[in-house]
Amino acid sequence: MTALVIAEHDNKTLNDATAKTVTAAAKVSSPVHILVAGSDCAAVAQAAAGIAGVEKVLLADDARYARMLAETMETLILSVAEPYEAILAPATTTGKNYLPRVAAKLDTPQISEIIAVLAPDTFERPIFAGNAVETLQAPAGKKIVTVRTTTFAAAGSGGTATVEKIAAAADPGLSSFVEENLSMSARPELTSAKIVISGGRGLGSAENFKLLDTIADRLGAAVGASRAAVDAGYVPNDFQVGQTGKAVAPELYLAIGISGAIQHLAGMKDSRVIAAINKDAAAPIFQLADFGLVEDLFKAIPELNDELAKRGIGQKA
């Protein structure tokens, strides 16, 4: 009885989402194996082998897995799926892309974006943009699950799993990679940052959105955005927090100029502390913020930066 976790990585570093998925997987079935599919990614396999509770790492190192395209991931996962009681992937845009194909081919329902494992076959998952929580029992047989990683702690380190190289599976030749435009940032990644500072339409322009950068740099925070700010073109799509963007759960979520549409709240309400600055006292964000400040953000942002500087909090900006 073993669970297989599909690793999330960029061929160089193992993404934190993997260790979090291992935590969820261990509650479904154990021991846990990890499949690392990538290109020139031996270091990733080594990192995966160091996760506590992992017994074995399967490494498929081949150019065809460099971008983890869904069609090639499907045939690879199916080639190793047989002995596993459960197959889990993080609910990232990569995991969401390939895992339903595997479920369909195995004629098994997929349970998406679980936030809790109540029993090895029973899961909680948010529906209706997080306005309701569904408790779902999967049928007998393999469990195919994607995991909302913000609600699971990362499994520890100190594991000594073996790494076993496996052969690449057939490439169905349906798709090919063309290009990638990734936002380059020295800041921490949105889903794993301890502090997230998010801006909304209240900022008014792409130029003004940069006001958040100074405070973010000072606090070592990631910058996020509401859908309204993304749609208005202030920031790229990968900044979006919410039902259709990313789910985050940092220690501190600072919402600036965000009114708090339910779709946005769905993506951040699990944060430990939520603070909001908005000039509209009736903004829905204040209904769940631990600390709310009703203030014009163009006045509050410089003040906040000065106040942090005065107290010597964070790096010098």
Partner 1 sequence: MKVLVPVKRVIDFNVKVRVKADQSGVDLANVKMSMNPFDEIAVEEAIRLKEKGKVTEVVIVSIGPSQAQDTIRTALAMGGDRGILVKTDGPVEPLAVAKLLKAICDAEKPGLVLTGKQAIDSDANQTGQMLAALLGWGQGTFAHSLELSGSDVKVAREIDGGLQTVSLRLPAVVTTDLRLNQPRYASLPNIMKAKKKPIAEKSPAELGVDVTPRCKVLKVSEPARRAAGVKVKTVAELVDKLAEAGVLS
Which of 43, 116, 129, 168: binder of partner 1 (CB under 8 A)?
A: 129
Identify which of residues 132 and 167 has a Cβ nearer to partner 1 in the complex.
Answer: 132
Q: Which stretch binds partner 1 (CB under 8 A): 42-50, 52-60, 206-214, 244-252?
A: 244-252
Return d(Cα 98, Cα 63) in angstroms, integer. 17
Displacement of CA 260 from its chain's centroid (Å): 21
Comparison of 49 and 247: residue with beta carbon closer to partner 1: 247
Separation between Cα atoms, residue 108 and residue 93, nearest integer Å: 21
List the x/- string, 201-240, binding to partner 1 by CB under 8 A.
------------------x-------x--xx----xxx--
3-state secondary structure of 298: helix
With CB under 8 A as the rule, give the number of residues binding partner 1.
95
The reply to whether 170 sits near partner 1 by the rule CB under 8 A is no
**Span 67-96, contacts to partner 1 by CB under 8 A:** 67, 69-71, 74, 92-94, 96
The answer to whether residues 289 and 310 touch, using CB atoms and an 8 Å cutoff, is no
Does 120 bind partner 1 (CB under 8 A)? Our answer is no
Closest approach of partner 1 to the CB of residue 161, in Å: 26
Q: Considering only residues 251-290, where is the footprint of partner 1 by CB under 8 A?
A: 251-252, 262-263, 269, 272-275, 277, 281, 286-290
110-114 and 143-147 strand pairing: parallel
Pick one of 111, 215, 229, 241: the residue that binds partner 1 (CB under 8 A): 111
Smallest distance from partner 1 to CB 39, Å = 15
For partner 1, which residue of 65, 84, 98, 234 counts as binding (CB under 8 A)? 98
CB of 265 to partner 1, least distance (A): 9
Q: Strand pairing partners for 146?
A: 89
Which residues share a beta bridge with 60? 37
Nearer Cβ to partner 1, position 53 or 298? 298
**Minimum CB distance to partner 1 smaller for 164 or for 290:** 290
CB 216 within 8 A of CB 165: no
**Paired strand residues for 165:** 59
CB of residue 123 vs partner 1: minimum separation in angstroms? 9
Give the nearest distance from C-beta 17 to partner 1 in angstroms: 9
Identify whether the C-beta of residue 61 lies closer than 8 Å to the C-beta of residue 33. no
Query: Whose structure tokens read 């081949």?
Result: 62
Among 47, 77, 89, 103, binds partner 1 (CB under 8 A): 103
Q: Considering the rule CB under 8 A, would residue 177 count as an interface residue with partner 1?
A: yes
**Shorter beta-carbon distance to partner 1: residue 14 or 54:** 14
Binding segment for partner 1 (CB under 8 A), chosen from 35-43, 79-87, 107-115, 157-165, is 107-115
How far is 225 from 230, CA to CA, in rounded Å?
A: 7
Q: Of 30, 79, 122, 214, which lies in the binding site for partner 1, with binding defined by CB under 8 A?
A: 122
Q: Is 243 helix (H, G, I), strand (E, B) or coil?
A: coil
Binding residue for partner 1 (CB under 8 A) from 13, 157, 175, 205? 175
Order of strands, sheet of 162-165, starting from the edge strand that comes earlier in the sequence? 110-114, 143-147, 86-90, 3-6, 32-38, 54-61, 162-165
Closest CA to 4 of 246, 174, 293, 28: 28
Pick the closer one to partner 1 by CB: 40 or 303. Answer: 303
Q: Evaluate whether 24 touches 114 at the Cβ level (below 8 Å).
A: yes
Write out the DSSP string of 58-96: EEEE-GGGTT--HHHHHHHHHHHHTT-SEEEEESSHHHH
